[in-house]
Structure 1
């Protein structure tokens, strides 16, 4: 039996690409423009096909390095952005290209992981974030669980207090929480200089 490292997303990749909306794109775009040096490299964890998040960032002059566990989504990313690097790896175990980044985004992914993999991923992000670098990720502010509508698999938010506590424990500081036009919550963390 083959292990599905994409946690069900490979099986629904075509459906996901067909329904992925622009919700949250303006928030991510404004965050990058306001917080990151122009044309810097951004790691996109859970990049999917790159549409719409990576597309907006690339259009603004950033270099976006994508990581996703779904082979079909990584293939679509490579077709959409042939000049941008992409690797097919589970986020919590990724090499993250064996380099550091000034910016990291993870939109719509972290709550798809179990608690242990979420904390592992946050720890890994702290390892690859440069001093002064910024990390933006989405997850509900309240601690809650639900089943994902596409995969039917469990989703879990640890909640704002748990995320803030773990970020602090790995040397990051929670700087801001905000919501997009669809009511989705985002956390911004920074690695102090």
Structure 2
């Protein structure tokens, strides 16, 4: 099970086709994506970290005139993403080791960051900061309290972990982020808990 905790992307390699067929394609995330577009303006650069198949979120951002790049640690998910969005820049990388040598106007880690073990999550705020322009937006989903959870998807048991809300807030402050929006269990967004923060 330890490998399943540290390398959730290997489970995604197994279930990639199932995920592509079963991932909800309605854009329940639209309000949050539109807010990023509104803050940054059309043509801004966005990194989708843990982009999966690229759909529907990257597809929507591209349709709205944003420049979008995708990173995922699952080579099978990226194969599907490249097929879905053939003219988009995709890279295979574990977000914990990310070093792209470039900065973006926004980073989205939607239902991806929370697959990391809780011990690995604090260091990610350095990674986020390193890849963001000043004034850049970071949006990620998390749990609300310190803990681990497993969820069955396509026959694979996927690991999730969270810090508590206060620790996320203190990590964000420590790294120069200001919280723009925090929404717990958003009923319009699959009960996701969503952070939208800005680097100063």
Partner of 2:191: 183
Instruction: List alignment gaps of at least 5 residues for structure 2.
Output: 1-5
SS of equivalent residue, structure 1 residue 134: strand
Report the more deviating stretch, 98-107 or 25-34.
25-34
Deviations 1:102-122 (A, max 9, x none): 111010011110112222222
Q: Give 1:92-111 correspondences, 5 Å limit.
A: 92-95=96-99, 97-111=100-114
Q: CA shift at 1:171, angstroms? A: 2.0
1:111-149 residue CA offsets vs partner (Å, 9 max, x unmatched): 110112222222200111111111111112333321022
Match of 1:171 among 176, 183, 188: 176
Q: Distance in 2 between matches of 1:28 and 1:17?
A: 22
Corresponding residue to 2:12 among 4, 9, 15 = 9
Structure 1 gap segments, 5+ residues each: none
More strand by share: 2
* Deviation of the 1:34 alpha carbon: 2.1
Could you tell me the TM-score, scaled by structure 1's length? 0.90
Q: 1:63 aligns with which of 62, 67, 76?
A: 67
TM-score in terms of structure 2 length: 0.87
Aligned pair in 2 of structure 1 residues 186, 180: CA closer, same or farther (>3 Å)? farther
Is 1:158 the counterpart of 2:163? The answer is yes
Q: What is the Cα deviation at residue 154 of structure 1?
A: 2.7
Matched, 1:31 2:39: no
* 1:159, distance to aligned residue in structure 2 (A): 2.5
* Equivalent residue number for residue 44 of structure 2: 40
Q: Secondary structure of the residue that 1:49 maps to in structure 2?
A: coil
Runs of 4+ with deviation above 3 angstroms: none
- Are the counterparts in 2 of residues 44 and 65 from structure 1 also a CA contact under 8 Å? yes
Whether the 8 Å contact between 2:180 and 2:198 is mirrored in structure 1 is yes
Once residues 76 and 23 of structure 1 are traced to their aligned partners in structure 2, the CA distance between those partners, rounded to angstroms, is: 19
SS in 2 for 1:56: helix
Contact map agreement 2:27 2:57 (CA 8 A) in 1 = no
Aligned length: 189
1:5 and 1:139 map into 2 onto residues whose CA distance is 16
